[in-house]
Structure formats: C-alpha cells, structure tokens
Amino acid sequence: MNFSKKGAISFVPDNAGLELALERITHLAIVAHQDDTEIAAYNGIAECFNNKNKWFSSVIVTNGAGSPRTGLYADFSDEEMQEIRAKEQNKAAVVGDYSAQFQLKFSSSEVKETNPDAVIADLIKIIKASKPEVIYLHNLADKHITHVATAVLAVKAIRKLSDEYQPKKVYGCEVWRALDWMQDDEKVVLPVAQYDNVGAALISVFDSQVSGGKRYDLALRGRQLANATFYASHSADDCDAYTYAMDLTPLITNKELNIKEYTLKTIDNFKNDVANNLDTFI
C-alpha cells in the first residue's frame, strides 16, 4: 500500500502479511501522535486482545517531531525523536496484539494547514481496505489543535466513502481534554478495566514520553479510575475504569450535519445544565 509521504510505515506484528492484516480489522484508531492510540482507544485494544474474531489497528497521522523531552532524551534532535517514537509505537502494536500499525509521517503543519487532502487520501485507502466496524478518533473538543485537525480530517475522509465502507460506530475519545463535563445521556461510556496489565504495559512502552517528562502512565490510569468512580453519584460502580467519548456516528450517517455546530451543541447542553442548576437556587 503506497502512501503520500516517503517513509510512511506499515507494520504487521504477527507477520501475517498486509493484505490479511487489513482484511481482518474490525476496530481502528485514527489519531495524531504516537501513544494517542493507547490513551484514546484502549477500549478497542482490550475488546480485540487475544480475540481471533476481532482485530484492532492503529493509524498515527503525524511524525512525532516536536515532543517534549528531558533527562535521557533532552539532547535528542527532532529526527532522532521521530525514529524513537516510531519504534515505540510499533512496540505497542506488538504488546497490544494489533493487526497492523500505520504511521503516515505527516508534519503537524501539513495536517493543520498545508496538505490536508493528502491526509484524507491516505485515510481513505486504509479505511476502504479494512472496512472497520468501529473507528476511534480524538474528540472534537480536544484542546490540542493537531488532535482536532486530525479528527476533522478523519470525519471528512469517512464521509467521502460509499455506504459499503462506512463504520457502524465512530467515537471521539479523551486525550488532551477529558469529557466528564458532557451530559450523561450524551457521552459514550467505554469500559477500559479489562487486561489492566496490558494497558499499563502499552503506555509504559513510550519511554521517550514517560521518562522524557510526561507521566502518562499514572495520569491515564488516574483518569480512567476517576471516570468510573465519579460517573454516577447515587449508585455503586459496576466497572473499575472508564474512558468517555463523543458519539460522532451522526456526523457520518448524516453528512449534512455541520461538524462545528454538532460539537457546540454538546457544549451548549453543558452550559444550560449548569445554568439551570444555579437558577434553582439564585
């Protein structure tokens, strides 16, 4: 499979061959950076882990340049960090038993400004070849602008596909902005308690980030546990760990829906809920 950028990576952990790896995919994450998949889409990883009827795969759109670095990695160049992060992502694909791992190697500026059509074209190739049932994206209210750009381009790519290639579900997941503020009847609650040892191992693979100044290993599990505990105030927990997501499926089934307005409606509902609660007592 040929992609737009020289050096783009297609990696099949079990050496089954790319054609078979694509055919068996049922769950697919499309995210901006190395390690975003393991934060946003662990629900899909766990659902497919050691399950020969379901297979998870990941697409990393950017090249990993510009990441924070301290300690062992403080003096590494952007080029060296790109190589390290690409290797770490492939290690995660082995640990998580992914069907395939794709790294498209776009720069952040290309995703945000200069080359979005090429990103869309590459994503269409992967989705058409794999026909996943579930796709995990960044949520559209994420505070990282490259995450938002990647999610919007993925939605645009999916919208260009004919019905036979459309996924059943598309979720916009937590990374750089949690979604606990969403109304309970709007948020998608995704269990992430299964194989917690695998989840811990996956995020720990990214040593350039964890040792390099960002304790994603601790923060991720803390958020997941907090989501489960604080989800319902008047009932006992029925799962130890959750991640939350926006349901982006309506943006696919109804291509006339405005992406911005759909997202802002969710925020308006939060605003109105807070206002109504305050109005009760003011």
Give 60's Cβ-side CA count (13 Å radius). 30
Pairing label, strands 242-247, 188-191:
antiparallel
| pLDDT for position 236 | 67
User: How many structural domains are present in the chain?
Assistant: 1
CA-CA distance, 89 to 22, in Å (whole number)?
18
| pLDDT for position 214 | 84
138 — alpha (psi -120 to 50), left (phi > 0) or beta?
A: beta
Render 201-245 in DSSP notation, one character per residue.
HHHHT-HHHHTTT--HHHHHHHHHHHHHHHS-TTS--SSS-EEEE
**Residue range(s) defining the domain that contains residue 272:** 9-279
Residue 213 falls inside a structural domain: yes
Per-residue pLDDT of the chain (282 residues; tens, 9 = 90+): 899 999 999 999 999 999 999 999 999 999 999 999 999 999 999 999 999 999 999 999 999 877 766 777 777 888 888 999 999 999 999 999 999 999 999 999 999 999 899 999 999 999 999 999 999 999 999 999 999 999 999 999 999 999 999 999 999 999 999 999 999 999 999 999 999 999 999 999 999 888 877 899 999 999 999 999 999 766 767 789 999 999 999 999 999 999 999 999 999 999 999 999 999 999
Give the CATH number for residue 260: 3.40.50.10320
Host H or E run for residue 104: strand 100-106
| pLDDT for position 154 | 98
Of the chain, the end-to-end C-alpha distance in Å amounts to 62
Residue 4 falls inside a structural domain: no
| pLDDT for position 234 | 60
Under DSSP, is residue 272 helix (H, G, I), strand (E, B) or coil? helix
Residue 38 falls inside a structural domain: yes
Residue 37 falls inside a structural domain: yes
| pLDDT for position 71 | 72
Q: Are 64 and 53 in contact (CB under 8 A)?
A: no
Residue 89 falls inside a structural domain: yes
